[in-house]
Amino acid sequence: MTESDRELSTMAQQLWDSDVNRLQPGKDYRISLQGKAQNNMADDNDGKGYPLFTFVDENNFKKETFLAFISLLDNYESATGTPEVVTPEEEAENSKFLDCIIKSPTMKLAHKYLVEKNLSPSSETKFKEQLYRIWFELYARSGSSRPDSSGFEHVFVGETKRRRTVIGFHNWIQLYLQEKLGHIDYRGYSVTANSPEPDENKHILALQFSWKQGMKPKGSIFVGVSPEFEMALYTLCFLTSPNERVKVQFSLYDVEIVCHHYNQKHIGTTYPVLLRYQNNK
């Protein structure tokens, strides 16, 4: 681990400790991992009909940042190549969400650190503009002549490509809400030779699922964390590291944060990859 990774790990731990809105597994939510995902994604013998989330206390969704986050999830066309049109109402929802998370202890810590590193303006108004550009400014992902994507849409909402493949979609709240509506078929957890077996009481999970007639062969998400934690951590990784993979350690986790830049101005995608549970060392 490099010196910059160690410094970022210290910040990640502070963000984790400040995430007062994080849900607790077994208390605020429960998941059922069931079995490993099949390599043959056309195989229907995957426990179809059994959801990943068996319980979520939705009172947590009444918290200010959660409410503002959830209001954004229906603002996008999932198909890449279909131009996005941002209405004045949606613009106001984006602005309200950023106002909410900037006030949170988690994003305040991230902002302070970024100002100290001369990576963000000290003004909250200017910082909000920076966050808007990184996350919400539209760009053309699919070679379309018109903007059809944004960092927020890709990471937190999810997109479909040629109707058969799900891209992005790395957020547990969207996953839960879409599963509740019957739009998600959870098809099992994913592991590699170098990753640990998942744990229903931990906060990071790799999984396979289908959505809108498309398949996500392998995705990775934080589970139970607040929107402000993810926005803060991913923004830190985007602004502090020219590398597209950053290793951090916090709480019980050794994690690689994948963070692809798009034109150096926007987030293309970002998500966590669990390397190891620290209590399993």
List of residues 6+ apart from 122 with CB closer than 8 A: 115
Do residues 149 and 161 lie in contact, with contact meaning Cβ atoms separated by under 8 Å?
Answer: no
Residues carrying an active site annotation: 154, 170, 216
Residue type, 30: R
Distance CA 157, CA 114 (A): 26
38 burial (CB, 10 Å; 0-12 / 13-18 / 19+) is: middle
Q: β-pairing, 253-262 with 245-250? A: antiparallel
Helices (H), 86-191: 88-102, 105-116, 124-135, 151-152, 172-180
Single out the residue of 188, 207, 183, 216 nearest to residue 44, CA to CA: 188
Single out the residue of 4, 12, 2 nearest to residue 222, CA to CA: 12
Sign of torsion over alpha carbons 251, 255, 261, 264: positive
> Tokens in use for 198?
């998942």
Q: 3-state DSSP call for residue 7? A: helix
Give the burial string for 172-203 (b: 16+ CB within 10 Å, else e).
Answer: bbbbbbbbeeeebbbbbbbeeeeebebbbebb
> Tokens in use for 170?
């790395």
Q: 3-state DSSP call for residue 105? A: helix
